């Protein structure tokens, strides 16, 4: 049985969305952040030593990292859905977007969030961070020009993986200059499977307002 170890207000929400898109049979084990520290509870460390979410368990198999989880679920349980055929140019693009979301795009967003907690707001670093945000958000916005989805204008697991970037970005940086990315955010949040995942997942601060 597939089990999503789901932490409120976290990246694991997109794993629930993936499950709903595929209409898979799965369980949810819920964890709540500490109200004071906002950290995951120690119970998650019993599932994986890092104590982070998302974690997927499938029988004796434990998978961490959102991109790896999406890749695993689609390879093992997707029956060819939501991913281009292996060996195709579209599949190579799909893999790049799958890794780009956390490997590159999230870094300046996380820096923006953490430096905001410093006494001076990380003032000296802000021009560099903002420059990187403009670069990455502009790259995403340009990739969506003239289309709705990132790979061959066909909805895929890459769009699910990139959803967290599009959802957290406007909380830290304006999307006024990135209309295609803003429209992507609205588009994903309108999908029926996304809405079902919200109902099952509970608190999610980065969803529709």
pLDDT tens per residue, range 8-56: 999 999 999 999 999 999 999 999 999 888 889 999 999 999 999 999 9
> Of the candidates 53, 81, 44, which has an alpha carbon nearest to the alpha carbon of residue 160?
81
d(CA 202, CA 204): 6
C-beta separation of 53 from 60 below 8 A: no
- Helical residues (DSSP H) of the chain, grouped into ranges: 12-22, 66-77, 89-100, 106-115, 126-143, 157-172, 179-189, 192-201
> Of the candidates 160, 148, 10, which has an alpha carbon nearest to the alpha carbon of residue 78?
160
Q: What's the length of the chain?
A: 209
What architecture is the 89-191 domain classified under in CATH?
Up-down Bundle (1.20)
The topology (CATH level 3) of 2-82+193-201 is Glutaredoxin (3.40.30)
- Residue 193 has which token pair? 């499977």
* DSSP character string of 7-21: ETTSTHHHHHHHHHH
pLDDT tens-digit profile of 34-45? 988 888 999 999
pLDDT tens-digit profile of 120-175? 999 999 999 999 999 999 999 999 999 999 999 999 999 999 999 999 999 999 99
For the chain, the structural domain boundaries read: 2-82+193-201, 89-191
Residue corresponding to tokens 């959803």: 163
């Amino acid at each position: 049985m597939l089990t999503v170890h789901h932490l409120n207000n976290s990246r694991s929400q997109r794993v629930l969305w993936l499950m709903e898109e595929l209409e898979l049979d799965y369980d949810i084990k819920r964890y709540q952040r500490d109200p004071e520290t906002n950290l995951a509870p120690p119970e998650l460390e019993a599932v994986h030593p890092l104590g982070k979410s998302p974690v997927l368990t499938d029988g004796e198999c434990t998978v961490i990292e959102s991109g790896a989880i999406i890749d695993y679920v689609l390879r093992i349980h997707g029956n060819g859905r939501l991913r281009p055929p292996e060996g195709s140019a579209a599949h190579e693009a799909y893999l790049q977007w799958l890794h780009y979301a956390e490997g590159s795009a999230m870094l300046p967003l996380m820096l923006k969030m953490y430096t905001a907690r410093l006494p001076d707001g990380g003032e000296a670093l802000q021009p560099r961070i903002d420059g990187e945000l403009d670069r990455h958000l502009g790259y995403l916005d340009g990739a969506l020009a003239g289309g709705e989805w990132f790979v061959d204008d066909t909805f895929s697991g890459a769009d699910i993986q990139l959803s967290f970037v599009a959802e957290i970005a406007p909380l830290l940086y304006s999307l006024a200059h990135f209309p295609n990315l803003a429209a992507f955010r609205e588009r994903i949040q309108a999908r029926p499977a996304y809405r079902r995942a919200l109902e099952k997942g509970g608190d999610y601060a980065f969803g529709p307002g």
